[in-house]
Amino acid sequence: MVRVAFFLLAAAAALLVACEPLEAPPPEAFPLARERMETGGEIPEEFGELVGVTTTAGYRESYAQLWFEDTEGTIRIVYVHIDDRRIDPSVDLIRRSRPAVEPETGEEQP
């Protein structure tokens, strides 16, 4: 009887040691908004300032991404096909929300 109890206790301890904590679920992802440029290959001035240029190894290697930020904080990602020397008319958007309360004054935003 003592052997059975010892065996069960050892098995339970082994299971507890072998268990790994579950990973937290990934945060919910939201799809990016998309708009179409109808400017004939020119980037509109309304897109704002160019704030970054990226490329991604292993994913669309012949593309560069131009990141623009407008005066309201909206980020637009323009894709340039380097090999074909053309701009993709589809543009991804990342909109930025305004805080509900103005940090400096504590007043509510309209």
Residue spans of beta strands (DSSP E) within 1-110: 33-36, 49-54, 63-69, 75-81, 86-94
Q: How far apart are CA 78 and CA 10, in angstroms?
A: 60
Q: What's the confidence (pLDDT) of residue 58?
A: 79
Please check whether residue 90 is in contact with residue 38, taking contact to mean a CB–CB distance below 8 angstroms.
no
For the residues 93-107, what does the mean pLDDT come to? 72
pLDDT, tens digit, 9 for 90 and up, residues 35-84:
999 888 899 999 999 999 999 887 777 899 999 999 999 999 999 999 99
Please check whether residue 47 is in contact with residue 35, taking contact to mean a CB–CB distance below 8 angstroms.
no
Q: How far apart are CA 37 and CA 13, in angstroms?
A: 62
pLDDT, tens digit, 9 for 90 and up, residues 19-41:
677 787 778 888 889 999 988 88
